[in-house]
A and B are shown apart, each in its own frame.
Chain A
């Protein structure tokens, strides 16, 4: 999972070091777009959930599927009360089941729409990144190949989404646990000839 580390306040890029992907329990990662304070509230709910699950100490633990279902209920109920949590949530995880390792990736929207897919994106990512993922994703990618693919999407978003910043975080979840890598930047190129003298020949300019 990857995201940039920016949080805007309207059109102002207010916070530039925000972690938008967090580990949940032993088996899952949650990433969010939208209203950051609502995301913090959701993290508190998940904290309560995972804590009481941990306190049972009975060998059972909440997997990504259970957390996805729980979040769907929460989001849908809030929408029905006309008081939504204004977020798009991405839930990913890996858990050992009776038939082996089960990988899970899904999303929940602010109105409670939810589904499971091999590639998920939020916001502009739905328009810019999903087409790339649909063309180039394969079931048997290595971690390094996946990072390269994700970076390709992040770069497109960086160029084209006005509210994105050049500081990204990658997060990985396996049966061993969650790893959230430190932030880093991608190399961008702005030296295209068309960007020089952009107003030349424009109507009203001289």
Chain B
């Protein structure tokens, strides 16, 4: 994208009908570190690649619990993301107060999108520089939405945002058709694998990723939105790597199965 004479104000259209400031805001999302989200009929998983400003500092928090039934993962200007998370939390609380029931995820995503749209139509505001993956559970099942700075939002089976997210998206595109029937464990494994694709060579450990899950078990009880703890993540990563090393040849080609059920062929 190059600078041009229509990109100074968010309220200036270009002759081709583009709002460049909004598009530049969407570029900010691409600079943030990667996040992926995926869902089945009953569960939704969010995962984020942790990036620390330096070795001395803690990493940026990218996954936020919004309510018992919903959470977000964000990429871009994390300060904007924090403010929007606070807004989402307050919307959920206000709804629960009046109706004593959780705000349906589609309605939550819409309120967020409307808030983002306002910033694209006021000369004294700037668009939010953060993209959010909103994952949650309501009476119609598990949902995943992507809200971008333009005020647009779509529902997804699986999606990835942030830097090097194309690698994750390619991975997800090959597998998403089966996700509706995946178990929560399978979803978490695929989320980790997708994050791994964005790390591009760097080793995936529990310290450079965060995973959260929300869903409803088969018996009807709800599993509230919760970050999976680091120890458990490391166990899952280790089991994934063990399964990958065992059948050495089909690891890249046969990505159809989850890759965990192949027993180690010790007797070859």
Contact = CB atoms under 8 A, between A and B. Distances in A.
B139 A97 contact: yes
Contacts of A60: 104, 106-107, 138-140
Contact of B101 (A56, A58, A66, A99): A66
B106 A69 contact: no
Contacts of B138: 60
A100 interface: yes
B236 interface: no
Question: Which one of A59, A62, A63, A100 has the highest number of Cβ atoms from chain B below 10 Å of its Cβ?
Answer: A59
A30 B253 CA distance: 61
B154 to A, nearest CB: 14
Interface string A57-72: 0111011011011100
A58 B220 contact: no
Contacts of A68: 100
A58 B106 contact: yes
Nearest to A68: B100
B139 A69 contact: no
Q: Determine chain A's interface SS by DSSP, over half rule.
A: mixed
Given A56-B106, A56-B107, A98 B139 contact: yes
A63 B219 CA distance: 21
B224 to A, nearest CB: 14
Interface string B210-230: 000000100111100000000
A157 to B, nearest CB: 31
B2 interface: no
B124 interface: no
A119 interface: no
A65 B106 contact: no
A134 B225 CA distance: 41
Nearest to A62: B99
Which interface class (under 10, 10 to 19, 20 to 34, 35 or more) fits A? 10 to 19
B98 interface: yes
Contact of B99 (A56, A59, A70): A70
Interface string A24-59: 000000000000000000000000000000001011
Contacts of A73: 97-98
A58 B107 contact: yes
B99 to A, nearest CB: 4
Given A56-B107, A58-B106, A60-B140, A66 B220 contact: no
A66 B106 CA distance: 17
A63 B101 contact: yes
Contacts of A56: 104, 106-107
Interface in B84-101: 97-101
Nearest to B107: A56
A98 B98 contact: no
A72 to B, nearest CB: 9
B172 to A, nearest CB: 24
Interface string B238-258: 000000000000000000000
Given A60-B104, A69-B101, A70-B99, 18 more contacts: A56-B104, A56-B106, A58-B104, A59-B140, A60-B106, A60-B138, A60-B139, A62-B99, A63-B101, A65-B100, A66-B99, A69-B98, A69-B100, A73-B98, A97-B220, A98-B216, A98-B222, A100-B220
